[in-house]
Every structure is written in structure tokens, then in C-alpha cells.
Amino acid sequence: MDIETGTPRTFRRTALVLTAAVALTGTGVAAAAGTRDAHRVNDTLQREVAERVIAAGPPGYLARIDDGRRVHTLAEGVADRRTGRPIKAGDQFEAGSNTKTFTAVLVLQQVDRGRLKLDAPVERYLPGVVPNGRNITVRMLLNHTSGLFSYTGAPDFFTDMENDPQHVHTDAELLGIAFAQEPYFAPGAGWKYSNTNYTLLGMILRKQTGKSMPALVRERITGPLGLRHTYYADPRATGTGPGYARGYAIKYGSGTPEYTDTSDWPIGGWGGAAGAMITTASDLSRFFSAVMRAELFSPAQLAQMKTTVGLPADFPLRGGYGLGLFRTDSPCGSVWGHGGDTMGHHSTAVASEDGRRTAVTDATGEPNDRDENPGVERYYQTIVFGADTVNICQMFGKPVPAEVLANLRGTTPGTGAR
């Protein structure tokens, strides 16, 4: 999920939401960390990553890295601040916008069945629902070129949620919020991430199949792939006992982080087809590997999914966005995947182009301040511009550039990197 209101803080948070791992533009000098065994994940470095993520605020952090030969897992911190239960690498968590890739898979399956056409207007499938729907195509919804305003960008959306956290939004409510605002641009005239696009895709799927999103995910994705710990929250996570990593909204403004447990908030009641999945690192790894191997749809649809559009010049990411799938050109290689943010989690999931290598992480805290402050800055620097990119390099068995380690450690590039 994302927040887009144009402030510096929300711009950074949008980047956090979108990126499976943020690519730094510099190449730098390769640091010694990560070079000890080019074919083995550096456990010492991964433990440092986990410790620094925890120090930045999230109560817990888990990671699963498959380098194509071995699987490395790690968990640090607690899954529940109240009980002190340690987090485990196999715990379930809210996957946020990683859900978009699940929704895109379901849409592409409909294309394979001849029920949907990517370049057909939305008006054909949802008559009278979308303003200017005759000029917005299904493809534009999938790749965020529709120009439709994202309901999460409304000025009071998250303030209203905090005031009434148990409210379950209907699709009509979310669309009402979105359509009350002017579009970002004319259909096809630009790129702007918008959760509204995926709300509409979920509506199309339900109308065409007569089935709910939880049922479609279960029957067409998690069942065939054997993902036993992944499901679509409708509207809340149901497995919030042992084995579930609780999520926390963090306010840093007072100098001492303040935590709000958001685990029982109805993620399905505002994230929906854009962000309602609950999963584990292992299941998410299996899913993205299957996507890259076209196990869930035809190779023709994978080619469509990987057809990307360019990102704005000022966007802090090199790569492109396809159909529910990001290509990130990191310092250690290009990866495919997505990222996800809820009110209490930041997760990333990436895979190599052949699907053999994957890296999945979850941090159980998300900044919830209204303004920038040192705590928020440290969170983004450590997790987005440090840990996420380190994990990609570890996945590929490549040296971690000095700039990346400097961002992780909060040091000047070229110092503290060895």
C-alpha cells in the first residue's frame, strides 16, 4: 500500500511501498562484506542487517534468502511486544502491496481463458463505474498508467483510519474517495502508483467469476502451489496467535518511539485486492518463483507481465513497472518482484529472472508520523536504502557496494564498510 500526498515524508514512504529493493545510483567500491564466499549468504552480514533494522524501530525482522543453492533464514526481535514472543523466520505477516502481483496473476489467468482483453476499456467490464472508463484499459489499471487518483492519497484517509481503525470500507466507499479527486493525468499520459487501480481489478474479477477474492486466491494460486500459510484477509487476519508476526505503527516524533499494535485492524477492509494478503516468507518466495517461471499462466502472459513502463525521472528507483510486477535494477543485478506496506509492516519480495533465486523480508514496524524527524529518516535509510539492497546482493552472491553498507550503518560512504 502507499500514501501519496506530496509531502517529503510521504514521497519517501511511496518509494518504500513500491520498491522491492531501492537501487542506489552509485556503484562505489565493493566492500569486503559479502565477498568471503561468493556462493554462500554471509550470515554475519545478515545478522548485522537484522540488528540495525531492529535498532531503527521495528520490534521484529525476518528474512529468507535463496541464492539458488541454499536457503538462509534469520529472525531477530519479537513477534509480539506484549508477550515478548520471539519472531520466527516462518511467521505469517501482512504482505501489503505484494498482493498486487496476486491480483495481476488472477487477471492474466482470465486473459488466458479468453474472458478478458488487456487493451479493452474498463467500461466494457464495469459499465458506468469509472469516470472516463471508455479511455482507460485493463492494462492501464495493471501498470498504473490510468491516471486515477489513489484513494490512499486523500488528505484525511489515514487520519480517519486512526480515529476509527475497525471501519471496513466497501469498494464503493474507496472509489468515492478516489473519484472525488481529479485524476493525476489523462489515461496513458504518465505513470502514478494508485491503489484504486487494483480495487477496480478486484471488482472485475468478482463480477466475471462470481467468486470472492479469497476464494479465487485459494482456488487458483495458493491451492495449486501448495501455499498452506497464505490467504486473503477478509477483512482481518484470522491467524493472529502463535506463529503470527504482529505489526506496529510507530511514531518517532517524541524522541522515544511510540507503538500502536495494528494487527487486528481490517487490512482487507481498506487494502483489498491492492494489499490484503497474509503470508510467510517461504510461501511468498514460492509464489514469486512460480510467477517468474510462468507456472500459473501461459508464457505469453508472463511476457505481458514483464513488459514495463518507465518511471518518472525524479523517482528514486531505476527499473520499470509491468503488470503488477516491478523490475528493480539494483547495484548487484536486476530483480523482479514487489514491496508491501501496511500500517504495521514493511515487506519485500524479489526473484531473479529465472525464478531460481529469491529474497523475502518483513519488518514489523511502519513509521506513522505526520512530519519528518530523525527517527523516520533513520528508518528509511536503514531499511530501504540499506537492508533491502543488501539482501539482493546476498541473493546474487555479489559484494555489497560501500554506499549500500554506508546507508545501512549510517556512515559516510567509504567508511565503516569493511
In a domain, 153, yes or no: yes
pLDDT score at 412: 62
pLDDT score at 241: 77
Catalytic machinery residues: 97
In a domain, 71, yes or no: yes
Share of the chain above pLDDT 70, in %: 89
Question: Rounded CA gap, 229 and 239, in Å?
Answer: 9
Q: Over 80: is that where the pLDDT of 18 sits?
A: no
Question: Rounded CA gap, 251 and 366, in Å?
Answer: 9
Q: Return mean pLDDT, the chain.
A: 90
In a domain, 281, yes or no: yes
In a domain, 219, yes or no: yes
Q: CA end-to-end span of the chain, whole Å? A: 36
In a domain, 414, yes or no: no
Question: Rounded CA gap, 368 and 352, in Å?
Answer: 32
In CATH, what number is assigned to the domain containing residue 330?
3.40.710.10
**315 vs 28, higher pLDDT:** 315
Confidence of residue 413 (pLDDT cuts 50, 70, 90): low
Q: Over 50: is that where the pLDDT of 31 sits?
A: no
In a domain, 1, yes or no: no
pLDDT score at 410: 85
> Mean pLDDT across the stretch 72-94?
97
> Mean pLDDT across the stretch 95-113?
98
Determine which of 20-34, 52-66, 185-199 has the lowest per-residue pLDDT on average: 20-34
Confidence of residue 5 (pLDDT cuts 50, 70, 90): very low
Q: Residues 362, 8: contact at Cβ < 8 Å?
A: no
- Can you give the length of the chain in residues? 418
Query: Based on C-alpha coordinates, what's the Rg of the chain?
Result: 20
Q: Residues 248, 345: contact at Cβ < 8 Å?
A: no
Other Cβ atoms less than 10 A from the Cβ of 56: the count is 27
pLDDT score at 242: 81
Determine which of 196-200, 218-222, 411-415 has the lowest per-residue pLDDT on average: 411-415
Q: Residues 349, 286: contact at Cβ < 8 Å?
A: no
Express each pLDDT in 316-331 by its tens digit: 678 999 999 999 999 9
Q: Work out how many domains the chain is built from and give that number.
A: 1
In a domain, 322, yes or no: yes
Domain carrying residue 66: 8-78+87-409
> Mean pLDDT across the stretch 110-138?
98
Share of the chain above pLDDT 90, in %: 82
Going by C-alpha positions, the residue among 256, 253, 260, 58 that lies closest to residue 158 is 260
Confidence of residue 407 (pLDDT cuts 50, 70, 90): confident
Q: Over 90: is that where the pLDDT of 13 sits?
A: no
Omega before residue 235 within 30° of 0, cis: yes
Helix/strand/coil for 299: helix
In a domain, 416, yes or no: no
pLDDT score at 40: 83
Question: Rounded CA gap, 401 and 29, in Å?
Answer: 6
> Mean pLDDT across the stretch 15-38?
37
Confidence of residue 385 (pLDDT cuts 50, 70, 90): confident
Single pTM value for the model: 0.92
Give the phi and the psi of residue 331 in degrees, each rounded to 5.
Answer: -60, -20
Q: Between the CA of residue 373 and those of 247, 318, 341, 376, 406, what are the distances in Å?
A: 21, 26, 20, 5, 20
Express each pLDDT in 357-382 by its tens digit: 999 999 999 999 988 899 999 998 89
